[in-house]
Structure 1
């Protein structure tokens, strides 16, 4: 969320100026104090806003604009002061800054009025950790356990010809999760000489070839400037005479397959290619395909309970509304997982569950899955929204280093300082919260058990959040 990040960044800058032995004397104390009070109020307002309303969104845009303007004025003044050699006799009162303070005061008055009339809050106090919490990937496989051995048998048995297996299903149906389970299974690791995974991008042929080569040979710095044909020839040469497993994740067109297939040799040794797609026309090109069926109401409810309560039973007062929520998830494991994480991380009250059901149900006629995605994003605390949006710097479906993203978050300056904790500790806590909310998944852990690398549960959640943030 741009407004929250802008306010925190400005507060951090004011803190640095206040701690500077000479810069602090070059600003008017009354102006700085007024600005701090305004920012503290606006930050509290942003942290309390949980409902997406046009009036609130307009206020958030105005808050972000005012904070950026104040930061520009302060930074320009610091530059001027540095050029002047931080002379003690420079004027400390800034007319430009005073106008921004007045502007923020007006925004504060309007925010106070909105706050008095604010409807039911989405954000709820985070409860203590619940026993029986399980990973998102395991949740997505509930109801599809029979498909894993079926697919493994197709991969490791049968014909020696190069065999292509499409996994087809709508977004959120668990296609990628099933493919990943097979890709990482000990049986496939032992059976195949080499394995490579690539997610289809807009620059699909070149991007796919580079991703495959990155999996197979490590760094692609030496070949990044090569043509598509040169990259394809290198891939073909690397795969020749080897039994390989190739995953083409989220392929949208027959044309893409037609361009990439010539670089994947048929070694007559049992090599396999998995294509995950939501396009039936693409899957129909092959003699066999595995279709991801939707969960029935019983399985959806069981998965939701498993996600929210672990091995405990759902309280009787929540059962009726909970079954309605599960039904609204349209049988999509990803939707159930996201909603389950939302309920798990909030107060277990019927009022809140009714609010979730109403928000999902109201979006069913247009796009129920979109409603679920946006509910998950809108329910994030204000301090987590810019951190989640920042993950958009990484390509879709690509692992990212936790230590790297923490350094980037700290460097951006939108982390709110906490007394007695370093910014790195704060960032680590934010990462844990995003994991607990099932928006990102731990792919590898370090020796200390802490997350080392993560991946987005589904990039479409981030894309929808980015669109919503841009519209704000």
Structure 2
């Protein structure tokens, strides 16, 4: 995207404004003193990005003017980035004794010229709007227009709706059963569980129930926590509280304070808490202490691969074993993911249905195979070749599912494989900051300059390619519709780890960091 570097700079500013955990920031009076300037700069950059990004419908006579304004804005942002870097470095050097005489060296932040440049660009842009009545947006309506249009400026012009769109096929009856159970009249706190193998769609089904309009209306409070195989109780409390109220200040709170905050949030409320991906009875025994029972009809919706965990947690509740998709549902899901609502060409129906059948009703396999097909030419011979290459895989268990997903790895262009394998280094269900991931890829030396794009723009293109192939899950977007947070499905991560070991890739990462 054209302003990826600005996005990264804004993330840096956000840390300087809000974080106290980074050594150079922690309790540093120079940083704290300049936070109002950082905040003002952050707001101005965000405002200008929204303004410039949302006006792609200019009159042809003003196109060149706006292009020059964008170029000037880019230069101003880069200059501000340099000034902030120099200031933070100077603070660091002074704190570490490189400049022991305070009267010789005083770190200072001079953003006045940059702020005047940004203000000048804003005024000129408003003048173009006034002069050209065809441009019907203004600074005050930019955000609303962006949200309704869902405009994105990555290389394939996909909008936020497409990036976050969750195609759900075959779960209507399952969702109805679970919704009816959690809405029963019983007053006692109870547990409803969704059980099934990895990749079968437990989290997707839980989210379908969680966001159902009736469920939203029925429960006063709703929260979500993902547990995984390794977990930290304090982190779990923060997850639940953040999902209940994202305005809470949680980072500095102690474990006991977080526990008390959760108790107050749920006290005498009818609540629904989703506990996603729980792996052990011991984890449940620790978690259940967080959730009070005031006979208000509250419910816990639990997902797990292990029936014994669900059986241990349930009292009067339901254990719902999620079944595989039918061949018809698999084909429908494949078409939705590949053709985005368009019809499948007649010459691709036969090989396409064969590929859907090979996935054996496992939604994750279908989605990943759709990512492979979406990147290949829509020729019958190509699809037949792909169907033949996976015909021997049996996706009836997780090993078979991995074999099916492995086909997506073999179809990756060589330049993308390092980027994909690197994802195996993150813990399960880890929420990855996309801007940070881009910089890490660059630091690892994975990106080569091509002369026409910045390293960040190239890295962002690779990130979007992995999203297009359904190998990365988009969790959050920035206001201008680029990926903010992403994560990797457990089984895709497992594939990364196994392939990484085969290719001795993780040794390469370790050597690069010492």
- Measured against the shorter chain, the TM-score band is 0.5 to 0.7
Name the counterpart of 1:336.
366
Determine the C-alpha separation between the residues in 1 that align with 2:265 and 2:327.
47
- 1:263 equivalenced with 2:290 (yes/no): yes
Name the counterpart of 1:120.
none
Determine the C-alpha separation between the residues in 1 that align with 2:336 and 2:190.
36
Q: Structure 1 residue 419: deviation in Å?
A: 2.1
Determine the C-alpha separation between the residues in 2 that align with 1:161 and 1:186.
23
Give the number of equivalent residue pairs. 340
- 1:274 equivalenced with 2:301 (yes/no): yes
Name the counterpart of 1:138.
166
Q: Structure 1 residue 381: deviation in Å?
A: 2.0
With over 3 angstroms needed to count, the CA separation of the structure-2 counterparts of 1:137 and 1:155, relative to structure 1, is farther
Give me the TM-score of the superposition, normalised by structure 2.
0.59
Contact kept in structure 2, 1:389 and 1:466, CA below 8 Å? yes
Give the one of 452, 457, 478 matched to 1:446.
478
- 1:239 equivalenced with 2:270 (yes/no): no
User: Which aligned pairs between 1:289-304 and structure 2 lie closer than 5 A?
Assistant: 289-304=319-334
Name the counterpart of 1:85.
none
Name the counterpart of 2:451.
419
Give the one of 314, 317, 327 matched to 2:347.
317
With over 3 angstroms needed to count, the CA separation of the structure-2 counterparts of 1:452 and 1:208, relative to structure 1, is closer
Extract unaligned runs of 5+ from structure 1: 1-126
Contact kept in structure 2, 1:247 and 1:274, CA below 8 Å? yes
Per the alignment, in what secondary structure is the counterpart of residue 325 of structure 2?
A: coil
- 1:468 equivalenced with 2:495 (yes/no): no
Contact kept in structure 2, 1:321 and 1:353, CA below 8 Å? yes
With over 3 angstroms needed to count, the CA separation of the structure-2 counterparts of 1:187 and 1:430, relative to structure 1, is farther
Determine the C-alpha separation between the residues in 1 that align with 2:418 and 2:365.
22
User: Which aligned pairs between 1:71-470 and structure 2 lie closer than 5 A?
Assistant: 138-139=166-167, 141-185=168-212, 187-204=214-231, 206=233, 208-209=236-237, 211-213=239-241, 215=243, 218=248, 220-222=250-252, 226=255, 235-236=262-263, 238-285=265-312, 286=314, 287-364=317-394, 367-392=399-424, 394-456=426-488, 458-470=489-501
Q: Structure 1 residue 338: deviation in Å?
A: 0.8
Q: Structure 1 residue 290: deviation in Å?
A: 2.5
Q: Structure 1 residue 302: deviation in Å?
A: 2.0
Question: Per chain length, whose mean CA-contact separation is higher, i.e. which structure has more relative contact order (CA < 8 Å, sep 6+)?
Answer: 1
With over 3 angstroms needed to count, the CA separation of the structure-2 counterparts of 1:136 and 1:460, relative to structure 1, is farther
Name the counterpart of 1:83.
none
Q: Structure 1 residue 208: deviation in Å?
A: 3.5
With over 3 angstroms needed to count, the CA separation of the structure-2 counterparts of 1:296 and 1:129, relative to structure 1, is farther
Contact kept in structure 2, 1:250 and 1:276, CA below 8 Å? yes
With over 3 angstroms needed to count, the CA separation of the structure-2 counterparts of 1:328 and 1:196, relative to structure 1, is same
Determine the C-alpha separation between the residues in 2 that align with 1:129 and 1:347.
20
Determine the C-alpha separation between the residues in 2 that align with 1:461 and 1:368.
13
Q: Structure 1 residue 220: deviation in Å?
A: 4.8
What is the aligned-residue RMSD (CA, Å)? 3.3
Determine the C-alpha separation between the residues in 1 that align with 2:438 and 2:217.
35
With over 3 angstroms needed to count, the CA separation of the structure-2 counterparts of 1:174 and 1:201, relative to structure 1, is closer
With over 3 angstroms needed to count, the CA separation of the structure-2 counterparts of 1:424 and 1:149, relative to structure 1, is same
Please give the per-residue CA displacement for 1:392-447, whole angstroms capped at 9, x wherever unaligned.
45442243333332233333331122222111211221222111111123233333
Per the alignment, in what secondary structure is the counterpart of residue 383 of structure 1?
A: helix
